[in-house]
Amino acid sequence: MTPRETRRLDTRHLGRSILLFDAVPSTNDLAASFAADPDAAGTVFVAEHQSSGRGQYGRLWQARPGSSLLLSVLLFPPPELRRPVILTAWVAVAVADAIRDLTGAQVRIKWPNDLLVGGKKICGILIEQSGGVVVGLGLNRDQTAAEFDAAGLPDATSLGLVAGKRIDRDSALDRVLRHLDAGYDRLLNGERRELETVWKERVGLIGQPVRIDFADGTARLGRLRDMGFDGIELQSGEYANEVIPPERIRGLTGC
């Protein structure tokens, strides 16, 4: 598949090669097809439209062509950074910072991979691993409230709606990639604790009653005492101060 255009940024890890396409089945699948080539590390695949885009747990992702920032990045991080909780936190915090730059809005992280502004979803993240790590995201950029209503998505929003003006794709792409690159550089330099702190603040549920949904289909209620990459600390009558590995958790919501 031949890109319509190629670009590069003066970044350290992500974006030194950017391939732009009019339409692809899935930017994540396209990035994964380069996983056998270590020289493709940091390559960014951007599409105006995806015919088979997907979100977490195989959910379908559809949007009007050109209305979203759809991209995937191929990386080969060291083993200690390949944990899904760390990778997702890095991407979520970086994209939240980019959204703040573009709109001035504060962004909340909804476990595990959604970004919310004013309680409405503005971005979804999908990280997949095989030979390499593929970081995919879909950021609502130019959709209107009428479009979301027609699609049955009243709890979604876009950069344009939040900012009150149109945000062009190139501006959004530049901000997102620069924040991703800077955050990845900090992780490679061992600055995990700083990311963990900001991630916890952006989730914003410490001290509150929560519901934890597990990957095996069970659920638990309690008060969230603390959270970090090494464990989620839940206080409940039956499971006092239980520390739960993040990999077991499918959903974490306030209640």
Indicate whether 147 and 91 sit together in one domain: yes
The last residue of one of the domains, among 200, 221, 236, is 200
**Phi, psi of 53, deg, nearest 5:** -65, 150
Per-residue pLDDT at 54: 57
Residue 226: give the domain boundaries: 205-254
pLDDT, residue 236, reads 83
CATH number for 237: 2.30.30.100
Q: What is the pLDDT of residue 207?
A: 94
Q: Are residues 163 and 214 in the same domain?
A: no
Low-confidence ranges of the chain (pLDDT < 70): 52-62, 238-239
Same domain, residue pair 182 and 249: no
- b/e code 62-86 from CB counts within 10 Å (16+ = b): ebeeebbbbbbbbbebeeeeeeebb
Cα dist from 166 to 74, 90, 169, 179, whole Å: 29, 27, 9, 21
- Domain shared by 233 and 118, yes or no: no
pTM here is 0.93
Looking at 155, 176, 200, the residue that finishes a domain is 200
Please tell me whether residues 23 and 69 are part of one structural domain: yes
pLDDT in the model for residue 141 = 96
Domain boundary among 159, 185, 200: 200
